[in-house]
Amino acid sequence: MKLSVLLLLLLCPLALAVIPGPNEFMSLAEMEDALLRNLFQGYQRWVRPIQHVNDTVTVRFGLKISQLVDVDEKNQLMTTNVWLCQEWIDYKLRWNPDQYGGITSIRVPSENIWLPDIVLYEK
């Protein structure tokens, strides 16, 4: 009897080590939430995303016409609505997808990240 109690006491910690904890059963939404918290901890959106003072940020951009509003043939004017597409690399917003359930991309509101100073000028 004493031997079985002793074995039970010795094996209990091993059994607890094998049972998955609540953190191991995270949903995709919880993983994305954890990823966002980790990425933006200490992130300053007004600081240019560079590692060295002399580094530059290459911004690729383009326009996509989303709507043709009006065409004035007489005055040769065309009124449109466009999407301005901008793409750059922010080295501070990188992560290992294996640590976050395979998440490879996220959507973040533009007011939370650094934005390049590119302005569309109408003429």
Cα 108 to Cα 123: distance, rounded to the nearest angstrom: 32
The architecture CATH gives domain 8-112: Distorted Sandwich (2.70)
Q: Which position has the higher pLDDT, 59 or 20?
A: 59
* Average pLDDT of every residue of the chain: 84
| pTM, entire model | 0.64
Cα separation, 32 vs 101, in Å, equals: 9
Average the pLDDT over 41-65 and give the result. Answer: 94
Cα gap 26→101, rounded to integer Å: 9
- pLDDT tier at 122, thresholds 50, 70, 90: confident
The pLDDT of residue 48 is above 90: yes
Structure-model confidence comparison of residues 110 and 20, the more confident one:
110
Locate tokens 């009897």: which residue?
1
**Per-residue burial over 85-98, b = 16 or more CB atoms within 10 Å of its CB, e = otherwise:** eeeeeeebeeeeee
Residue ranges of domains in the chain? 8-112
What mean pLDDT comes out for the span 30-51? 95
